[in-house]
């Protein structure tokens, strides 16, 4: 499964925000079922950022979100994401 979160970040906060995304990926890498993750900044609208993570299955993703480390370090960041569906199946 793939989880995608998009964010709108003022240009002046880009450096700090990138560090937060990189830390989120570090925390996710420690979770069982995490396979790959990446971050990106939109080429046309530099205030848009994305965090994409790949998981073995939806259960792995949900267990990761319920872990203490993710709740403490990643969930507050994810709470600032643009409100839109972000979980996708890659088994199609």
Separation in Å, CA 7 to CA 46, 62, 85, 90, 92: 11, 21, 13, 22, 27
At 92 the pLDDT is 76
Which residues share a beta bridge with 43? none
pTM for this structure? Answer: 0.93
Euclidean distance between CA atoms 13 and 47, whole angstroms:
9
Strands (E), 24-82: 34-41, 48-55
**pLDDT per residue as tens digits for the range 63-84:** 999 999 999 999 999 999 999 9
Tell me which CATH code domain 2-86 carries: 3.30.70.100
**62: its two tokens:** 């949900």
pLDDT in tens, 30-40: 999 999 999 99
What is d(CA 33, CA 87) in angstroms, rounded to the nearest whole number? 15
Average pLDDT, the chain: 97
């Amino acid at each position: 499964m793939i989880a995608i979160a998009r964010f709108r970040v003022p240009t002046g906060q880009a450096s700090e925000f990138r560090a937060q995304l990189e830390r989120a990926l570090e925390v996710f890498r420690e979770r069982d079922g995490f396979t790959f993750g990446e971050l990106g900044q939109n080429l046309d609208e530099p205030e848009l950022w994305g965090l994409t993570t790949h998981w073995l299955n939806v259960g792995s993703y949900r267990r990761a979100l319920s872990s203490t480390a993710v709740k403490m370090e990643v969930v507050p960041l994810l709470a600032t994401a643009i409100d839109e569906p972000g979980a996708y199946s890659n088994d199609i």
